[in-house]
Structure 1
Amino acid sequence: MYMNTSNWKLAQEKSKILRSEILKWVYKHMRDFPWRRTNDPYVVLVTEKLLQQTDYGHVKKVWYKFFEKFPTVNALAQAKEEEIAEILRPLGLWRQRAKQLNAIAGTLVAKFGGQIPCSYKELLSLPGVGDYIARATLVFACEIPTYLIDVNTKKIVQRFIFYPTQVTEKEVAKVLEIATPKSPRECKLFNWGMIDFSALVCTKKPKCDICPLRENCAYYSYTIIG
């Protein structure tokens, strides 16, 4: 277990460095996507579902058309799965996605009067909505600060703080609880920053030469400096 007392103290200190550096970085390098310009809960929830295991560029190609066709929860709930699937065809698994989105919209109408709940527990009650999508909806639509855990944030935390030790999701969550800002606006920026930092800097083959974290990074110290 990595988290003995001394290691946890170091992890806490590095969590604060991570927050500070990501917030500085994101102001200069944040990518622009249309769904980042809205906090409409319906748009945010559905977009997060579309982004699940899908390249951002592919989602962008169908995003405008999707919300022109289905601008509200009710419109999506009343749509035929075939209509939804046709728009989502470029994303792959379009029939499965269409069925899930139709089911989510139907549940929102039946249980929540067509409104998106700003409750973690209630969001998890929606079909096909797991921890990440529920938390992302809270952060980006409801302005309720929380951390986001996915392969991107796990990768950054593991490399920056724990490398070469493999850590559990619970340990990553403890780090992100400290690193994630409590301000709703900064929380959004931090989480977008973590996503973009993973895509642009802390990639599969990390670009340590341009990384602002490298001076304090366990991966850089272990693999580059030696």
Structure 2
Amino acid sequence: MADDETREPAGTAGKTGAKGAGRKPAARRAAKPESRVALVRRARRIYRELAEVYPYAHPELDFENPYQLLVATVLSAQTTDLRVNQTTPALFAKYPTPEDLATANPEEVEEILRPTGFFRAKTRSVMGLSKALVEQFGGEVPGKLEELVKLPGVGRKTAFVVLGNAFGRPGITVDTHFMRLVRRWRWTEASEPEKIEAEMSTLFPKRDWTMLSHYVIFHGRRICHARKPACGACPIADLCPAYGEGETDPEKAKKLLKYEKGGFPGQRLKPPQSYLDHGGIPAPPLGKE
């Protein structure tokens, strides 16, 4: 298989090349109101196309159990998943259980978490979270939304990450990437996460919610960037009403691609085998970027 720097993004050549040549990007079509039926069809078609492009989509935080995923998700605030993944091995090696972290020396935890930024506040968060797990749930992470959101520092977004990926219970994770893309695709005009979550739940069947989150977030991180979306390299350009907000020249757009599609490693130190099978590259350990 060709190196990631030189190969076409998976699924892109057939959709923005020959297959897409006969289609007009959505933004170029005559402007007219979109019916509810048309919106649902377009949204679900985007879902199917992204599933072809990212067959290996997965949560990009490393974890081995619900507790590790919960802590990692809390630590991921205002930093990258890569930085969290490079930091948590030392944290979980020293404090493998909620009981261990709840009674830890805060200064020692702070030193481990320093690379993630805001390390003092994050230390308080994960220690408080661990204490609550011990006192309220016998040291076990609850598998219900209403119980998860009672934990300190855990909102609906964090809860759905844990439910969908550690318990296999469908949920829609509305992070900044998800919020940006569904508004850019005009699936919603809402700006509040809970309203977006509610509207998306009416567009897609419940069984698709977790993977929908992965597909959209993967696309937002790799191609549909906030400031310079790579429109000319986008596999769903013909379905996007915002086509043209970014670089439309295919060669220039290709240079904007990020992560494994642009020659960079994925964010996980231990990515799933499906990711590796498609040419993905594990991220380097801390200090070896």
TM-score, scaled relative to structure 1: 0.83
Contact 1:160 1:218 in 2 (8 A): yes
What residue number does 2:217 align with?
A: 195
Work out whether 1:71 is the aligned partner of 2:93: no
Contact 1:147 1:180 in 2 (8 A): no
Q: Alpha carbons of 1:211 and 1:167: their partners in 2 closer, same or farther (altered >3 Å)? A: same
Deviations 1:162-213 (A, max 9, x none): 5xx9533366324521555644xx6544322222211110112111112111
1:132 Cα shift? 0.6
What residue number does 2:52 align with?
A: 24
Contact 2:230 2:247 in 1 (8 A): no
Contact 1:19 1:180 in 2 (8 A): no
What residue number does 1:103 align with?
A: 128
What residue number does 2:170 align with?
A: 145
Deviations 1:16-49 (A, max 9, x none): 1122122112116x4785616x4x1101101111
State which structure, 1 or 2, has the greater radius of gyration over its C-alpha atoms: 2
Gaps of 5+ in 2: 1-32, 249-289
| Aligned-residue RMSD, C-alpha | 2.6
Partner of 1:118, secondary structure, is coil
Q: Alpha carbons of 1:8 and 1:172: their partners in 2 closer, same or farther (altered >3 Å)? A: farther
Deviations 1:83-131 (A, max 9, x none): 2111001111111000110000000000000000011111110011111
Contact 1:19 1:181 in 2 (8 A): no
Partner of 2:212, secondary structure, is helix
Opposite residue 127 of structure 2, the aligned amino acid is N
Deviations 1:111-154 (A, max 9, x none): 00000001111111001111110111111111100111121111
Work out whether 1:128 is the aligned partner of 2:153: yes
CA distance in 2, matches of 1:178, 1:195: 19
Contact 2:232 2:247 in 1 (8 A): no
CA distance in 1, matches of 2:209, 2:173: 10
Q: Alpha carbons of 1:223 and 1:9: their partners in 2 closer, same or farther (altered >3 Å)? A: farther
Partner of 2:186, secondary structure, is helix
| 1:150-189 map, 5 Å | 150-161=175-186, 166-169=189-192, 172-178=196-202, 182-183=206-207, 187-189=209-211
Contact 1:15 1:175 in 2 (8 A): no
Work out whether 1:208 is the aligned partner of 2:231: yes
TM-score, scaled relative to structure 2: 0.66
What is the percentage of aligned positions where both structures have the same residue?
27
CA distance in 2, matches of 1:181, 1:194: 16
Count of aligned positions = 214
Greater helix content = 1
Q: Which aligned runs of 4 or more in structure 1 are off by greater than 4 angstroms?
A: 30-34, 178-181, 221-225
CA distance in 2, matches of 1:58, 1:223: 28
1:221 Cα shift? 6.5
What residue number does 2:240 align with?
A: 217
Contact 1:146 1:180 in 2 (8 A): no
Q: Alpha carbons of 1:223 and 1:82: their partners in 2 closer, same or farther (altered >3 Å)? A: closer
CA distance in 1, matches of 2:48, 2:120: 42
Q: Alpha carbons of 1:224 and 1:57: their partners in 2 closer, same or farther (altered >3 Å)? A: closer
| 1:44-123 map, 5 Å | 44-123=69-148
1:10 Cα shift? 2.8
Partner of 1:116, secondary structure, is coil
Opposite residue 64 of structure 1, the aligned amino acid is P
Partner of 1:27, secondary structure, is coil
